[in-house]
Amino acid sequence: MGNFFDQSLRDVIGAAASNEPTPGGGSVSAMVACFGVAMTAMVCNLTLGKEKFKDVEPQVQEIVDTAYGMLKKLEELVDADMADFSSFMATLRMPKGTDEEKAARTEAMQKALKSATDTPMEIARVCLKALEITDKLAPVGNKMAISDAGVAAVVAEAALNGVLLSADINLPMIKDEEYVKKTVAEKERMVAEARRLKEKAFAVVQERLK
């Protein structure tokens, strides 16, 4: 199907709903994260240039610049996630008739599994960064659009929790215990921090909606 960001939204949803394995949960989570980041950018753009928010304009400009960079990064990670899946499937088709072939297949599979875990972890890091900038925006963004900052926070946390399932499914098959231990620790830290940031930003948004 090519670059999913060059397709219509209807085609992307259709592909995700089909019997094709990609885009799977990791890629879909990254695409969902794009909508969350886009909401943060939108609130920024509805704040910039307004006399009422002149004092916070430098801060908001920095946030929106970061958001646009994150959108580009997420687009790259969608492609990377689908490529990782294809690479892993290719290792399953490797010959295993001899001991040498089995060893080569096992080595390739372990490498592919790590790559297919590293990419979702990187997507989760971007989601966490999305929550960080949304948390900064919530108290200062245009009040007329502040509900969208709440949407951004909820969506970013959901995308983070979703994409980490793509790491979870690989970890039991990875033999490098130190890698697994390090990944699980970072994963748990990100989940906890994402929850904290989402709740903090959401509380600010709800207060400003009154």
pLDDT at 209: 95
Give the alpha-carbon dihedral of 11, 35, 159, 3, to 10 degrees.
40
Render 89-101 in DSSP notation, one character per residue. Answer: HHHHTS--SSHHH
Evaluate whether residue 26 is within a structural domain: no
CATH label of the domain that carries residue 165: 1.20.120.680
State pLDDT tens for residues 99-118. Answer: 999 999 999 999 999 999 99
Tally of domains in the chain: 1
Residue 96 lies in a domain: yes
The answer as to whether 60 is a domain residue is yes
Would residue 14 count as lying in a domain? no
In a domain, 16, yes or no: no
Domain that includes residue 128, residue range: 39-208
Asked whether residue 178 is assigned to any structural domain, the reply reads yes
pLDDT reading at 2 higher than 70: no
Is 181 among the domain residues? yes
Q: pLDDT value at position 1?
A: 40
What pLDDT, in 10s, does the model give residues 55-100? Answer: 999 999 999 999 999 999 999 999 999 999 999 999 999 999 999 9
Provide mean pLDDT across the span 4-27: 91
Question: What was the pLDDT predicted at 129?
Answer: 98
Q: Is residue 160 part of a domain?
A: yes
pLDDT greater than 60 at residue 162: yes
Q: Is the distance from CB of 163 to CB of 29 less than 8 angstroms?
A: yes
